Amino acid sequence: MEMLTEGLQIYLEQHCEPEPELLRYISRETHLKVPMARMLSGHYQGRVLSFLSKIQSPKRILEIGTFTGYASICLAEGLTEDGTLHTIDINEELEERVRDYFSKSPFGSKIKYQIGNAVEIVPTLTDVFDMVFIDADKKNNGTYYDMIFDKVRPGGLIIVDNVLWHGKITSGAQDKDTQNISNFNEKVINDQRVEKLILPVRDGLLIIRKL
C-alpha cells in the first residue's frame, strides 16, 4: 500500500513524533494476529491524524471503520477534556481485542465503540461533529459522506483514507474498486460546499474542510 520508497518512509517516521508504546503494541499484535493487517494506519499516518486532531481540538469525533483501534486512539489524542469519539465497525470478531486496547489507553472513557452497520447507526447519532474519519468499505464512501455531511459543523474536517488506492487512481486501472474511489474523489472535488486536499500519505488521505 505504500506509495513512498522504504527509505523515505523510514526518514519520515524518524522525523516526526515517536510512536506511543501502546500504539507500537497494537501494531505488533495486529500484524501478528489479525488478517488484513495492512489496513492499520501505522506510525506516520497515525501521527498525521493525531496532529490534525490536536490542531482542531475537537469535542466530538466520528470514525467509520475501527479495525483494531489504532487510528481511533490517534484521533482521540486531540479531544477536548470533555470530548467524545464515536467509532463504528462491523467486525464483531475484533470487538474483545479492540475494547481491551481502548481500556489500556488514556482515552478509554472518551471512546464510544459500536459494532454494527454504519449505514444504520450513523442516522441515530444526534451529535454535531468537529471531525469525521471515513475508513471503511470503499464502495460506500459516497454514502457515508452524504450521511455525515449535515452532522459536521462549519469548519469541521472530514478525512477519508485510501483515496489513491495503491496508486491505481493515476495508473488508468479500470477495476470496480478503483472506479468507485475515483468517482468519489471527483464527487468531492466538485462539491462547492467544501475545501479539499489530498495528502500522499500511505494510501492517500483526502482532507475535506466544510465551509
The pLDDT score that the predictor gives to residue 2 is 56
pLDDT in 10s for each residue of the chain, 211 residues: 557 788 999 999 999 999 999 999 999 999 999 999 999 999 999 999 999 999 999 999 999 999 999 999 999 999 999 999 999 999 999 999 999 999 999 999 999 999 999 999 999 999 999 999 999 999 999 999 999 999 999 999 999 999 999 889 988 889 999 999 999 999 999 999 999 999 999 999 999 999 9
Residue 46, C-alpha cell as written in the block: 497515525
Cα separation, 105 vs 86, in Å, equals 15
Is it true that domain 6-210 has CATH number 3.40.50.150? yes
The pLDDT score that the predictor gives to residue 147 is 98
Domain ranges of the chain: 6-210
Cα separation, 163 vs 167, in Å, equals 9
Q: What residue type is assigned to position 129 of the chain?
A: F
Find all residues with CB under 8 Å of 141, minimum gap 6, and list them: 134, 160, 180, 181, 184
Q: What is the CA radius of gyration of the chain?
A: 16
The pLDDT score that the predictor gives to residue 140 is 96
Q: What residue type is assigned to position 133 of the chain?
A: F
SS3 of residue 85 by DSSP: strand
Q: List, as one string, the DSSP characters of 156-204.
A: EEEEEE-SSGGGGGGTT--SHHHHHHHHHHHHHHT-TTEEEEEE-STT-
